Structure 1
């Protein structure tokens, strides 16, 4: 059984790697596409995103990283995945563990499409306002649920060591613990405020205006929001027509053809 499980995990990883490689060869000549893959070394980049931390990823002018929080949520996440697929773009999804446990097939579909799976706790509490032991338990339970949905094994050691704090509310001791475990913490450089009651057009306007100002960065969306699912095709079209390039982030791995953030 152990050998069979190991073989299945290896096949899953191989399938995800193949999906990334295939995504680089987009069948649509006019699609946005993924410009490059950036390997992120948590030792060199333990905390990124200028809205929370002093540094962010080493992106060039007009390079963006697309990230989505709080999923999976089938009605909206499927639309987000479809929009990304139409433009041959890879993104990073920071999953809620209880949602991943409820929809493991959708988690596998994300990975099969070449997207990166990050972690966002079990139940989305404000980790800065609960006891530290409870916060760590929620983080670990979320990671285990995501890993079980993705690979069939509920381990607290993430296959992708990327984590984002709900509400961006952290505390120094938790940041230090995650860094010691080799887990990179992601903030963001800009967002479209899609948690507020705005229309898809208003969200698009916010996202494009803020990107025009920032010029590059890690962008935060929520794939659980109907307005974001409706707005995303237009946002991706905006990126394409205005010369922006999408960078796909993955953990640092040996023998992968990609630039490395280190």
Structure 2
């Protein structure tokens, strides 16, 4: 009963990876690395996974608040890649103390100032340094020197810049596809679970601005509760 659907999924997934590989490096993505300054969880131990969230923070009392609270209740942490503009808006609409409380116990990296491709953007360096500086000054205890490129797109010749800034590029290998117009919440959870079984280790990406993560994450944790797998501490992930 499961063999047919499993075959269909893996065939689609292979096509997905082959398409990205064919476009690389003209259109960069998470499918390959440009150098050792880029990390994607390949070096993790077997059955070890890191949770990450992109595109936040959401507006006050939104999905980011729910997810960070849920993770703390589960005694877990994740790396939240924040947009500088969204982080600044949260501070202005609440306070620095509220934002610090929001991410208590979690790690915060940067995704640049805006959610846009950093491969052909003239101001891509300023986008990264400005947002990294904001996150580090606002939350020195939570900040991790990691940049998550929106859409996985970054320049092939950017290694020198990232090394000069003390930053690593944090990619992923398990995409939940929880963005609007893609999978439903339960389908997103099933996709992540299937890819965890396939890769056996790695970096999982959700979006904390999307409602789907609030449904998919509890489903994922419930499905893996008795499996014996491990969740990577966000502070130790890419050291």
Q: TM-score, normalised by structure 2?
A: 0.74
How many residue pairs match? The answer is 196
Describe how 1:1-262 pairs up with structure 2 within 5 A.
46-49=37-40, 56-73=41-58, 74=60, 75-104=62-91, 105=97, 107-112=99-104, 114-131=105-122, 134-150=123-139, 160-197=144-181, 198-250=183-235
Once the two structures are superposed, residues 85-133 of structure 1 have per-residue CA deviations (whole angstroms, 9 ceiling, x without a partner) of: 2211111111001111112355312442x111101101122111222xx
Contact kept? 1:100, 1:149, Cα under 8 Å = no
Separation in 1 of the partners of 2:139 and 2:192?
30
Structure 1 residues 223, 142: CA separation in 2 closer, same or farther (over 3 Å shift)? same
Segments of 5+ residues of structure 1 without an aligned counterpart are 1-43, 50-55, 152-157, 252-259
Segments of 5+ residues of structure 2 without an aligned counterpart are 1-34, 92-96
Q: TM-score, normalised by structure 1?
A: 0.68
Give the Å deviation of 1:206.
0.9
Separation in 1 of the partners of 2:37 and 2:168?
4
What is the RMSD of the two structures over their aligned residues, measured on CA atoms?
Answer: 2.3
Give the Å deviation of 1:261.
6.1
Separation in 2 of the partners of 1:261 and 1:144?
20
Structure 1 residues 229, 175: CA separation in 2 closer, same or farther (over 3 Å shift)? farther
Separation in 1 of the partners of 2:178 and 2:103?
24
